[in-house]
Each structure stands twice: as structure tokens, then as C-alpha cells.
Structure 1
Amino acid sequence: MRVLLMAYGSRGDIEPLAGLAVELRALGAQVRVCAPPDEDFAQRLAGIGVPMVPIGPSARAAMQAKPQPSSLPQRAAEIIASQFEAGAEAAEGCDVLLATGAMPAAAGARSVAEKLGIPSVSVTFQQLTLPSPRRAPLAYPGRPFPSEVTDNRTLWDLDAQSIHALFGEALNTNRASFGLPPVENVRDYVIGDQPWLATDPALDPAQEALGFDIVQTGAWILPDTNPLPAELVAFLEAGAPPVYVGFGSMPLHASKDAAQVAIEAVRAQGLRVIVSSGWADLALIDDGADCFVVGEVNQQALFPRTAAVIHHGGAGTTTTATRAGAPQVVVPQMADQPYWAGRVAELGIGVAHDGPTPTFESLSTALETVLAPATRARAATVAGTVRTDGAAVAARLLLDAAG
């Protein structure tokens, strides 16, 4: 059985595919991944022996460029074209295709499967793009919904129209070149009748859907056996548990001094700090012995040894911190991150920061809450409810879909 996993997005879109790929291989499948041509993605997949096909422009460069909303259709057209070109070649001979990541990329991936006559599955790592009468859709940058419209069902209709206006022309131009008929609703084409939701049911219970059935597999977690660097272990053992600060794939356009603000706020609590450089290239502000900087690191091993985790609220980081029982301060930057911040607050395992730009005062207030014994106790309780079999469940379902 040959499986192709196609994604275009940040680390949060690629990392879960590593967990799924390992489970698929354990079931005897041959797996390859199409992903943006960023070095950290290639290294991650090479580390588990999964072939990667570079596809589309650099995701990191796109994030750091801070593009204007008006350029979205053009950028989407480039991504869609890459799915058809490199994706179609990578999918030759495959028995099933899984599509995820940015909406235009997933539309291109599903079109490739349609052209080759192989089954495909659409998966999301957050449910905010799945229409539900219980919530409003997220508006695309530069395309706000009318303020007078408050009915969720009407807003989801407008969402479908907006997405098609952004991506429909580019998608259908490429489909025509493949001899495929035009798609009239890009969003619903991507979602299909049974979209998969790869999130933990305790952390992110699936909500009522409009016109389709959600298959919630659980989060796709790849156990990380990489040891922590010796220098980091020495730092951890030299004092009380530190606070971790990291914003993953976020470039932090709105908060250039996030590292300084966070370090000063943590120091004011009498605690040490671990700063993750990430895509924002965060760095230490001095050579104090109470701070340590890391690059790529095993968060599964590190987070249980921290006093708290300050992060951006990506689905993967939120799940890892929750599973570790680490209290969280979520400083959301974009997209689904405010949702994850809200879930952390609702579960009582941390604080949702108000907005993307932390200050000394706002972080200090948040840290007082998350460092309280009651928050840590609650975080430990919720940690025990997080499932670890999501990738295995999804692997079996995907092979079943392939027949």
C-alpha cells in the first residue's frame, strides 16, 4: 500500500504527518510526504526516514514576509499550481492521498487525487474551518464579514463565497489543464462529506457540523525519543523548574521585543527562563546564568520539567503542553490560536493572553495565575485525559479508505 501525505503550512501542519507516517509504516505501508521546501521540515522527516517531496514556496519565508491581504489570490495560485505539478508526479502509483494545510493547497491536493482516480481524505488540525451553527467563521485578512450579519449559518454561506472568490479561479484554471470540471465551492470541495479532525477530544471536543460528518481521530503525536542536550539538562538540574518561552513558527510581527518582555516578567517571579528561538529568532537579552536558549528541542521531554509554558497557541504546542501537565500562558498571534488560548482558559490549565502583544504587566499577571498550585493541579488532572493513539487510529482508517 502506497500513501501520499500532502500539506502546505507551518510546522504545526507538518509535525502531525510525521506521527501518522510512522504508524502507517508500522502497518506495512510505503509513505511519502509533500511539504514546503523548508530545511527544518526536510530534517524532521529525514530523521524518521520518510521521503519528502518539496512543494511550493518556502513557508517560513512567506510567514516572515508579512504579505499584504491583496496578494493572497496570487500567492494561493502559486501554491495551487505547485500541488498540480509536483503533487501529481508524487502521487503516481499511490493508493490513497491525504490532504491538509492551507485551503488552496488542500484543494489542489484533492484535485490531484481526483485526476488520478484514487481516494483522498481531507484533515484539519483545528475545527474552526469546519462550518458549525455554534460558531462564526474566521474572516480572511482584508475580507471582513458585514458587521450587521450575526447569524452563524449566514456567515458560513458568506465564508464559502469569500473562499471561492479568493481561490476558485486559480483552482479551476489548473483543473481545466488537467481535464477536470470546475469546482463551484472550493471550501465544500475540500471539506467533503467526512472531514477528519486530528485533535484531542478532551482538549477540543468536536462541535455540531453543517452538512457533513466529522471523524475525530485524536491528535497525531509522534513519541519523541531524542535526548535533551547535555547543556540543557545541566541547566535544568542547576535550579528550580524554569518557564519556557517559545512562539514556534510565528514571526512575531506585532511583538519584536517578546523575548525581553517575557524574560523580565519571569525574572520578576523569581524564576529562570528557557527561550526557544523559533522562526522569530528569539534570543537572550544578556548573559545571565538564569536564562538558556534552545533551538529544535524535544518538547515532550522538556515541558514536564518546566514551571509553565508561554507560547503562541499552535495546536501542536498546546497539545504537547497539555499532555505534559504544564500550566500555560497562551499569547495568540493569528488564525486558530485565540481558540486554543480560550480552550486552555476554559479548562483551567492556563491563561489566555488578551491579544498578540505581551507586556511586562500582562505577562506578570498571567504568570501569577498559572504558577498558582491550583492551576498546576488542574493541569496535571487534564494531562491524564489526553489520548495518545490518534495517529494509530488515523493510520488504520486511512488504509481502510484505500480499500
Structure 2
Amino acid sequence: MNDYLKTLNNLTFERIKNLKLRLAFLYLVLIFFTSCKNEVSNQSEEVIDKNFAHIKYAKGFSIKDYKTYKFLEIKNPWPKAEKSYRYVLIDKENAIKSTFSKNEFDGIIIKPIKKIVVTSTTHIPALELLNTEETLVGFPGTDYVSSKKTRHRIENDLIRELGKNDGINTEVLLELNPNLVVGFGIDGNNRSLEIIKKSGIPVIFNGDWVESSPLAKAEWIKFFGVLFNKEKEADSIFNTIEKNYLEAKQLAQNIKNKPTVLSGAMHNDVWYLPNGSSTEAQFLKDANVSYLWQDSKGIGSLQLNFESVFVKAKDADIWLSPSNYNSLESLKNGNSQHAMFKAFQNKNVYSFNNTNGESGGVLYYELGMTRPDLVLQDIIKVCHPELLKNYSTHFFKPLK
């Protein structure tokens, strides 16, 4: 009996040993196949062009190119945004085969885009530079559009009026049925855009205006480049703008005499002028002028009383961008104290407010963000006229 139990125990031990070996083998096989599966999956998700749409200055968006789709992330659509927005750009054929869920992304954009709605005049120059302006079918506030090319399309009823940006006529927009709406917002609360999204039309936020430097804002042309499969064209256009800007900046660095510069104007007993870290102040720094508030910190506007401005800038050589005043008379009528400044008395006051489109839109607000090279060259021409003798300004003109 004892021998029998001993034999049985030995057999049980061998069976358990064999079972453990089999389980270990199966476990290794499972790991192997899982690894292979993950490797294939990872390979299909690998970025196929790591240098695709290289973003040099802009912080607010990124682009990745995968085998069958492109991934666009908007990181900072408005100041203090609490989340980023993720979009897939894919053609119809690959979209049918894909397993993307709308819950995973903030929008799935089917390309090619044949009809688009944009909501800021700053978006229009990018469409024109990329030769895609014919896709624009609607815009809120068409009277603000300055471009002759786009105005011609508006006047021929090829672009519908959509009301105001904060209250878009959704009925007309849904009738147009665009492939995409490019919006912008100051805090993400736009009821019209939410209605449009719920109708199934993708809405994507453009945050170019949030960027902190002129070239960073201009680089958003690459955002439109990826939407229209014109990445190479967008890259080439931006490279030219960058080259022009840096050459103008370098030219200004050689000047020895820096004129002192005042900016802004009085409104309701408050003088608003650019903070030292703002984009406007960056232009003045790159133009190598002595902006009298260049050491202040912040990206918005300074709000000062008249006395503090007058003490510091009464003898300033040049007065740039005196708010929305369009003549020396209107500037004086707005506040008689404006006439006390040396720059006013010498008629060295320059503004972009008088360079308008046919319906009154200010060209600077439309084109200036996309073409900072022209803005910088304008300021250099005004402040250092000897450097650009054959150059005519695009935006800034002396107040008369």
C-alpha cells in the first residue's frame, strides 16, 4: 500500500511538472504573438515623416503625418485654455476603412475640403496665398474684408454674409453645408459654433492671435496648408516671409540713431499703449527704435494716466498707431492734450487706420498678421527712412 501511494505521488508530481512546463510554453507563445501584434500596430501608427510641417516659432498647434491620415492638435486656441483640441484629417476612402471614433477627437475632417467658412479676416490672406480662396463660401461681417480678390467674390454672391462672429446666422451656414468651419474664440463659449458642431459640420479653432511673436503668428499659414494638402506651398511661403523679416531686422540693427517712439492714445481718461512684451513692442524692438515703454512686462496693453505718459513722451520723435484716430484734427478733437506732444506738433504721427479696403475694412487687421515682414519694413521706413529709400509703405501712413 505504501509503495502504491509513493508511486501515485510520483506520477502526480510528474503530471504537475509537465503541466507547469506546458503553461510556461503557452505563456511564452502568448507574449511572442502579443509583441508581434503590438509591433505591427505601432508600425501602422508611426509618423512617416518626422520633419513634416516643422513648426519653428508657433506654440499653439502641431501636425503629424501618418500613413493614411494626418493628426492636427490645437494646443492654445485662446488664452488660458484648459484643454487642447485634437483633429483627424483623412480622405473619404480611408475614412470608410478607419475605426476612428468621434468621441476620441474633437473633429474628423474629410478631405479634400471643397467648401469652407472662416470667421476672421486674418484667415483670408492664407487662403489667397495658397490659391484656395475659391473654397470660401461664407463669412461673418463681409464689409470688414479688404482684399480685392475676395471682395470681388463677395460682390458676385459667391460668399454669403453670415452675420456676426459671436452670433453667426446658423440657418444660412447650414444651408451652405461647408466641409469645415474655422472659428476663433476668446474663451471657448460660442453658442453658434456649438450648434454647428452638433449639426455634424466640423469646427476647428484657430489660435494664431494668441501667439507671442510676429513670426509665430505668421507660421499659422501651415495650419491652412495641412487642411488643403498644400504643406509644401505653405512652408515655402512662410520661409519667404521669415527671410524678408529677418533681413529687415538685420538691416535695422546697423543704425546708430534710434528715434524715440510713443504709441496709443487717450480714451475716457485712460491712455492705452502696448506692453513691452507684446507683439507690437516686438516689432518696435526689431525695427531698432527706442520704444519708451519697452522695459514694461506683459503681453496686453498698459493703461496709464495722461500725466505719466506726457512726462515720459512729450518729446518723443515719432508717434505710431494713435488708436483709431484717422487725422490730426480728429486726434486733437478726441482729447486736446494730444496736441501737446512734440510728435503731434511736428506732424510725425503715423497710423495704419487709413489704409482701407473698398468697404472700409482696415487692411492691417486682415493682412498684417500673415505678413509681419511688411509691417516691420513699414516701421523701418517710418523710423529709419534712409534704410529703405525705394520702399513704399503698405499699412502705415502719416496722419494729415
Q: TM-score, normalised by structure 2?
A: 0.28
Q: TM-score, normalised by structure 1?
A: 0.27
Larger Rg: 2
Is the strand fraction higher in 1 or 2?
2
